[in-house]
Amino acid sequence: MVLFNVSRIQTTPFDGQKPGTSGLRKKVKVFVQPHYLENFVQASFNALTEAKVRGATLVVSGDGRYYSEQAIQIITKMAAANGVRRIWVGLNGLLSTPAVSAVIRERVGVDGSKATGAFILTASHNPGGPNEDFGIKYNMENGGPAPEGITNKIYEYTTTIKEYLIAPDLPNVDISTVGVSNFTGPEGPFDVEVFDSASDYIKLMKSIFDFESIRKLLSSPKFTFCYDALHGVAGAYAKRIFVDELGAQESSLLNCVPKEDFGGGHPDPNLTYAKELVARMGLGKSEPQGEPPEFGAAADGDADRNMILGKRFFVTPSDSVAIIAANAVQAIPYFSAGLKGVARSMPTSAALDVVAKHLNLKFFEVPTGWKFFGNLMDAGLCSVCGEESFGTGMHFASVLGRAEEQTTTFKLTQTSYYLVIVVVFVIGSDHIREKDGIWAVLAWLSILAYKNKDNQDKLVTVEDIVRQHWATYGRHYYTRYDYENVDAVAAKELMAHLVKLQSSLSEVNKIVKGASSDVSNVVHGDEFEYKDSVDGSVSSHQGIRYLFEDGSRLIFRLSGTGSEGATIRLYIEQYEKDPSKIGRLSHEALAPLVAAALKLSKMEEFTGRSAPTVIT
Ligand code: VG1
Ligand code: CO
């Protein structure tokens, strides 16, 4: 039994330790400053209050990016000093964000203990390495990200912090071996348990999906499969799930060894960064070697996002959550008794709304960020939810033809001249309280297995499923423009200008019609405010909305996940019900609304940018 002491270390606040959409994300260079991580962790303990921290069992792990191991050792020493009873660490410090959520909810420790919270160490899809990003966020006892009430308190504590507690002589824990280490501090025992990162998560997935039917699909000679973990933490699960459990070929796994710098790449599952997958799927610059697989998927660094591709084919993420919701009851055993309700983030397209209406489901619209879905799920109001987000740094076409213009990223091959659909989605269900990249892949595989259960001669493909969905529900043309690393003051001014404009809709309509005579009238303008229907809490300033008579929407908001400057996101959407018009090129269908948005916001005037950094 190793004894340790507790030290109180004097410190002073750092500016800007405000958790964003999903935790605190900064450059590694910022995080490694003396006391920086410590201040944030102590502020989190303070915000949670002693009652929740003393005697608690906390999970500490993440996507394995650079600085994770040091951070795990520091947090463990601080947890010991703050009276935490035990720390659980995934083997090698690896746990995907959804697996952390599953571990909090499901896992029972070797001594019968249950966890009540977690520090997740990730900056998600942002690159890793000494010159890149690190991140940390706290998840609560329901397995979901801390709600705004808590993150605001954490931030307040960071602005006044004077000291933190640490056990400096607690030895570093060997996180590369499964087992329990026991220590004793001034107040009693403290344990660290290192456990297998994947088994709890796999058990949960097996309770949700019909693995046998997916196995059958994967073994069919008509169906081919490929998965790219982009050297993120999904690699720690991919072989175990797709190969060992579901029988996929090992050669169908790409970049499935987790690396602290993601192999030098962006762990951002999109057509720009998932290069190898994109090439294999027939969406690269040149023809692939051999026939592309029928299905391809990629994950981000912490495996909560996903991109899913059909053969030479891609979907908007807003469509994919709608498609999963529409097929869940038939295709996924976990939902066979019906969906409790569905939810989407405000900027996500209304494709899900149409499905909800059709199936007579409860429906909710929440602000961007997964933390807002948690209360709905806990209250049994929501089963499936999703966000539009593709991740950053992407530059590709949401529809046919557009790609040809975007020579910087990829060019459609000749055979993919028609419609290209990408599914890149941030989606999940009430099995946990985080979005879940691998769950999403299994959901799509389940839908494909269901649609192909009769073993018909011709495979029902991803493309077939999407087209069928449009034919039934109509199509939401959708695009997002991101202006990254814009001057923060200019970005604020642009947003203020857009809010001010909303006081006169006649002025707005004059500008909009001046940009294009093809748009309908703006009938409403506001800043999205959300009142949580469960706890009544209110979140204001969650995006500026312009709503049109025909259901079209323009939305502007500032990103809360970047680590430098400001990112302006502009979301553009138009609904088309007429079956003869659902096959248009997205950029053509949306051109009038894009023109209106740029003119309304004076984008170029404020930002100096004549084009977005990224179009998704
Ligand atoms: C972005 C996305 C949002 C997502 C968040 C975290 O936020 O828009 O939908 O929940 O990233 O995802 P923002 O504030 O930059 O728009 V992840 O995979 O980075 O945890
Ligand atoms: Co992520």
Rounded Cα distance, 253 and 226, in Å: 6
Q: Is the pLDDT of residue 407 over 60?
A: no
For every residue of 75-129, DSSP letters joined together read HHHHHHHTT--EEEEEGGGB--HHHHHHHHHH---TTS----EEEEE--TTS--S
Is residue 223 located within the same domain as residue 358?
yes
Is residue 449 a part of any domain in this protein? Answer: no
Among candidate residues 169, 196, 223, the one where a domain is terminated: 196
Ligand 1 midpoint to CA 391 (Å): 7
Pair (178, 231) in one structural domain: no
Does 396 fall in a domain?
no
Can you tell me which atom of ligand 1 is nearest the CA of 21?
14
The model's pLDDT over 262-301, given as tens digits with 9 standing for 90+, comes to 999 989 887 778 889 989 999 888 888 889 999 999 999 9
CA of 459 to the centre of ligand 2 (A): 32
Are 480 and 357 part of one and the same domain?
no
For ligand 1, what atom is nearest to the CA of residue 567? 15
Q: What DSSP character marks residue 555?
A: E
Residue 137 CA neighbour count, 13 Å, CB half: 31
Ligand 1 in reach of 368 Cβ (< 6 A): yes
CATH number at residue 96: 3.40.120.10
Global pTM?
Answer: 0.90
Domain boundary among 400, 434, 461: 461
- Residue 206's SS3 state is helix
Rounded to the nearest whole angstrom, what is the distance from the C-alpha of residue 204 to the centroid of ligand 2? 20
What residue's CA is closest to ligand 1, atom 19?
124
Q: How far apart are CA 461 and CA 236, in angstroms?
A: 28
Output the CA angle 415-419-422, nearest 5 degrees: 105
- The answer to whether the CB of 270 is under 6 A from ligand 1 is no
- For the question of residue 219 being annotated catalytic, the response is no
pLDDT tens readout for residues 176-185 = 999 999 999 9
What range does the domain containing 358 cover? 201-388+424-444+454-461
Residues 218 and 328 both lie in one domain: yes
pLDDT band at 1 (very low <50, low <70, confident <90, very high): low
Please state, in angstroms and rounded to a whole number, the distance separating the CA atoms of residues 523 and 514.
16
Instruction: Output the CA–CA distances (angstroms, integers) from residue 240 to 63, 202, 255, in the order listed.
Output: 17, 8, 14
Q: Is 304 in the pocket of ligand 1 (CB under 6 A)?
A: yes
pLDDT in tens, 534-567: 999 999 999 999 999 999 999 999 998 877 789 9
Is the separation of the CB atoms in 215 and 246 below 8 Å?
Answer: yes
Q: Is residue 150 part of a domain?
A: yes
The residue whose CA is least distant from atom 8 of ligand 1 is 389
Best residue for ligand 1 mutational test, from 96, 132, 321, 387 (most atoms within 8 Å of Cβ): 387
Position 540 in a domain: yes
Q: How far apart are CA 9 and CA 31, in angstroms?
A: 17
532 CA distance to ligand 1 middle (Å):
20
Within 209-299, residue ranges assigned H as helices are 211-219, 235-238, 275-280
Q: Which protein residue has the closest C-alpha to ligand 1 atom 6?
A: 22
Same domain assignment for residues 6 and 73 = yes
Distance 257 CA to ligand 2 centre (A): 17
* pLDDT level of residue 587 (50, 70, 90 thresholds): confident
Could you tell me where the beta strands, DSSP code E, fall in 393-529?
422-429, 475-486, 522-527
Q: Cβ distance 279 to 409 under 8 Å?
A: no
Please tell me the residue having the least CA distance from ligand 1 atom 16: 559
| Backbone φ, ψ for residue 91 (5° rounding) | -50, 130
Nearest atom of ligand 1 to the alpha carbon of 388: 9
Nearest ligand 1 atom to the CA of 557 is 16
400 part of a folded domain: no
Same domain, 248 and 191: no
Q: In the 8-state DSSP scheme, what is residue 23?
A: B
The Cα–Cα gap between 249 and 254 comes to: 11
pLDDT band with cut points at 50, 70 and 90 for residue 411:
very low
25 within ligand 1 shell (Cβ under 6 A)? no
Average pLDDT over residues 217-226: 95
Q: Are residues 217 and 244 in the same domain?
A: yes
The whole-number pLDDT of residue 74 equals 98
Whether residue 518 is contained in a domain is answered as yes
pLDDT of residue 398: 31
Q: Is 428 found in the same domain as 302?
A: yes
Give the list of residues 6+ apart from residue 376 with CB closer than 8 angstroms, or none: 341, 343, 364, 366, 382, 385, 533, 534
The answer on 358 and 507 residing in a single domain is no
| Token pair for 307 | 């991109």
The pLDDT assigned to 585 comes to 86
The finding on whether 559 has its CB within 6 A of some atom of ligand 1 is yes
461 lines ligand 1 (CB under 6 A): no
Residue 513 lies in a domain: yes
What length is written for the chain?
A: 616
Q: Which amino acid is at 611?
A: A
Q: Model confidence over 454-481: pLDDT tens digits? A: 988 899 999 999 999 999 999 999 999 9
CA distance 225 to 210: 18
Find out whether the beta carbon of 63 lies less than 6 Å from any atom of ligand 1. no
Task: Specify the DSSP class assigned to residue 567.
Answer: E
**Which ligand 1 atom is the nearest neighbour of the CA of 122?**
20
Token representation of residue 233: 């933490």
Angstrom distance (rounded) from CA 240 to CA 401? 38
User: Closest ligand to 300 CA?
Assistant: 2
Dump pLDDT digits (tens) for 412-424.
Answer: 332 233 333 344 4
Average pLDDT value for residue range 184-208: 94
Query: Are 20 and 160 found together in one domain?
Result: yes
94 and 44, same structural domain? yes
Out of 18, 22, 478, give the residue to mutate to test ligand 1, the one with the largest number of ligand atoms within 8 Å of its CB.
Answer: 22
Ligand nearest to the CA of 303: 2
Calculate how far, in angstroms, residue 94's C-alpha sits from the geometric centre of ligand 2.
14
| Of 607 and 20, more confident | 607
Does any ligand 1 atom lie closer than 6 A to the CB of residue 370? yes
Among protein residues, the one with the nearest Cα to ligand 1's atom 10 is 369
Work out the mean pLDDT of the chain and round it to a whole number: 90
Q: 196, 220, 252: which is the final residue of a domain?
A: 196
pLDDT at residue 429 in the model: 79
The Cα 458–Cα 222 span in angstroms is 8
CA of residue 19 to ligand 2 center, whole Å: 15
CATH at 494: 3.30.310.50
CB distance 561 to ligand 1 below 6 Å: yes
Q: Is the CB of 569 under 6 A from ligand 1?
A: yes
- Residue 302 CA: nearest ligand 1 atom is 18
Phi first, then psi: what are they for 557, rounded to 5°? -150, 160
Return the ligand number nearest the Cα of 234.
2
- Cα(484)–Cα(462) distance, integer angstroms: 32
Same domain? 529 vs 609: yes
> 418 by DSSP, 3-state: which?
coil
576 CB under 6 A from ligand 1?
no
CA proximity to 197, closest of 329, 318, 64: 64
Q: Which amino acid is located at 182 in the chain?
A: N
Of 487 and 403, more confident: 487
DSSP labels, 485-513: EE-HHHHHHHHHHHHHHTT-HHHHHHHHH
Fill in the amino acid letter for 259.
K
Range with the poorest average pLDDT among 40-54, 76-90, 355-369, 415-429: 415-429
CA–CA separation, 105 and 142 (whole Å): 6
Of the chain, the percentage scoring pLDDT greater than 90 comes to 78
Spatial strand order in the sheet of 544-548: 522-527, 544-548, 553-558, 566-576, 475-486, 614-615
Res. 396: pLDDT tops 50: no
Selected catalytic residue, list 101, 124, 345, 349: 124
- Which has more pLDDT, 286 or 329? 329
CA of 387 to the centre of ligand 2 (A): 12
Number of folded domains in the chain?
A: 3
| The predicted structure's pLDDT at residue 400 | 28
Q: How many Å lie between the centroid of ligand 1 and the Cα of residue 539?
A: 17
Q: Is residue 228 part of a domain?
A: yes
Looking from the CA of residue 97, the nearest atom of ligand 1 is 20
Ligand 1 proximity of 44 Cβ (cutoff 6 Å): no
